[in-house]
Amino acid sequence: MHIVAVGADMVGKNEWNPEVFKGAKIVNDSIAQCISRGEIRNAIVSGVIKETDIYEEIGQLLAGENPSR
């Protein structure tokens, strides 16, 4: 499943239940931004994931820096 969550742009806003990230390969546009607000922050704060569970940024994925499959 591919999820694009763009509406949770401030601390406390949420579009998805944080549980959706459990066991997922998480790729963000900006890890720094995503851990400070929105869906990823809410999943971290709720204890569903840790910052270290974020796999990579989209630029790294496109550049082939890490194996994606």
Residue type, 42: N
**Structural domain harbouring 29:** 24-63
pLDDT, tens digit (0-9, with 9 covering 90-100), for 9-65: 777 778 888 999 999 999 988 999 889 888 899 999 999 999 999 999 999 999 999
Residues in the chain: 69
The answer to the question of residue 11 being in a domain is no
Model pLDDT, residue 5: 74
Alpha helices by DSSP H, listed for 1-69, are 31-36, 38-45, 58-63
**Is the pTM above the cut of 0.85?**
no
The answer to the question of residue 36 being in a domain is yes
Dist CA 42 CA 16 (whole Å): 9
Model pLDDT, residue 67: 81
The answer to the question of residue 44 being in a domain is yes
Model pLDDT, residue 50: 96
Q: How many separate domains does the chain show?
A: 1
The answer to the question of residue 50 being in a domain is yes
Of the candidates 6, 13, 68, the one whose C-alpha atom is nearest the C-alpha of residue 42 is: 13
Model pLDDT, residue 63: 94
Element spanning 50, H or E? none
The answer to the question of residue 32 being in a domain is yes
